Amino acid sequence: MATVQVSEAEKVYILHGIRDDLRVDGRGCEDYRHMEVETDVVSNTDGSAKVTLGHTAVLVGIKAEIGKPRPMIANQGYLEFFVDCSANATPEFEGRGGEELGTELSNTLYKVFNNQHSLDLKSLCISPGEHCWVLYVDVLLLQCDGNLYDAISVAIKAALFNTKIPKVHISSDEEGGKEIELSDDPYDCMRLDVENVPCIVTLCKIGHRHVVDATLQEKACSVASLIISVTHKGIITCSRKVGRGSLDPESICEMIEAGKRVGKALHPPLMKLLQQEESLGNKRQKVGFLG
């Protein structure tokens, strides 16, 4: 993980600030940094989104491909995650440096998103046991400035919202052989219901308190953090502790409560933004990567 060197004096400064609910950049403990979301940024994916959170920037692309359903769940499609920690983000990722982090991130994402509660996986099924849509979610880290999980989860939600899966229908002949037929209209496509897709909130334990959306400096002061995924109704679908230190049960409860609150508040503005963007249709001027 990208790290910064923080001296003892700086640590104390950060720690004391947080104790007084005043962080280095002026935020309160439960405030996010400035966030920007743009969808449909990569034209050759089926859905894509780019999210910047402070200086953290991630790009998510979703490719839908036809695959075979998992044997145990024949009537559902599934998601596959791959996180690419490019050396663009930080020199530490060079070579195979980012691999471990990538695996860790994708494992978490898999737990959070690939279940029937988050996404209607049944709608991805084309013909039970034979064909289903597999969504390959590729996450590319463009810049790391802390709080990757939250940024990635927002980007995934936005990209899922943006995903357009071509409509197919199965025609079968008398012999029982099945044939997938494709509509020739590129606008004839299926959208996913992202209402229940959770967002991840990372809470960093710093001193006796915890903060959301920790910067790298703050992260350096923390020994452990808690990751929870929260739906728009405030339901927690997944939680995980990361970091070497330990958390006492009391503060875990506190952190979960805080996480719920923050997470629940995160959804409505995000959805509003996405719908607004969608309604602009083709006329929207794309910002892309140069904006």
Partner 1 sequence: MLKSKTFVKKTRSGGVMKVVREHYLRDDIWCGSEVCTECKQDSAVLQRDACIESSLCPYPHYLVPDTNIVLRQIDVLEDPVIRNVIILQTVLQEVRHRSAPVYKRLKDIIHEQGRHFYTFTNEHHRETFIEREPGESANDRNDRAIRVAVKWYSQHLKTAESGSDGLKVVLLTNDQGNKLKAEENGLVVYKFDEYIKSLIGNPELVDCLALSNDDKNEVTSSKVLFPEHLPLSKVQAGIKSGSFLQGTFRASRDNYLEATVFVQGEGEDSTEVLIQGLQNLNRAVHQDVVAVQLLPKNQWVAPSSVVLQDDGAAKDDNVDEDEEEKTARRATGKVVGIIKRNWRPFCGMLNVSQIKESTRHLFTPADRHIPRIRIETRQASTLAGQRIMVAIDGWPKDSRYPNGHFVRSLGGAGEKDTEEEVLLLEHDVPHQAFSQAVLSFLPKMPWSITPEDMAQRQDLRHLTVCSVDPPGCTDIDDALHYRELENGKLEVGVHIADVSHFIRPGNALDKEAANRGTTVYLCGKRIDMVPELLSSNLCSLRSNVERFAFSCIWELNHKAEILKTRFTKSVINSKASLTYAEAQMRIDDASKNDDITKSLRGLNKLAKILKRKRIENGALTLSSLEVRFHMDSETHDPIDLQTKELVETNSMVEEFMLLANISVAQKIYDEFPESALLRKHPAPPPSNYDILIKAAKSKNVMIHTDSAKALADSLDVAKVDGFQYFNTLLRILATRCMMQAVYFCSGMDSDFHHYGLASPIYTHFTSPIRRYADIIVHRLLAVAIGADSTYPDLMDKHKQSTLCNNLNYRHKMSQYAQRASVAFHTQLFFKTRGILNEEGFVLFVRKNAIIVLIPKFGLEGTVFFDSKDKASPNLVFDEEIPGVSVPVPEAEPQAKKQKLDR
Closest CA to 266 of 164, 215, 198, 184: 198
- 79 vs 104, 110, 117, 136, CA distance in Å? 16, 8, 13, 6
CB of 219 to partner 1, least distance (A): 38
Label residue 83 exposed, middle or buried (CB < 10 Å: 0-12, 13-18, 19+): buried
Calpha distance 226→217 (Å, rounded):
17
CB of 182 to partner 1, least distance (A): 5
CB of 167 to partner 1, least distance (A): 10
Cβ-based nearer residue to partner 1, 5 or 282: 282
Cβ-based nearer residue to partner 1, 166 or 207: 166
Alpha-helical regions (H) of the chain: 8-19, 99-113, 148-162, 216-221, 249-280
Calpha distance 10→197 (Å, rounded):
38
Query: Furthest-apart CA pair in the chain: how many Å?
Result: 78
Cβ-based nearer residue to partner 1, 42 or 151: 42
CB of 19 to partner 1, least distance (A): 52
Cβ-based nearer residue to partner 1, 185 or 250: 185
Q: Catalog residues that contact partner 1 under the rule CB under 8 A.
A: 43-46, 63-66, 166, 168, 171, 173-175, 177, 179-180, 182, 184-187, 282
CB of 239 to partner 1, least distance (A): 36
Cβ-based nearer residue to partner 1, 165 or 247: 165
Calpha distance 267→257 (Å, rounded):
16
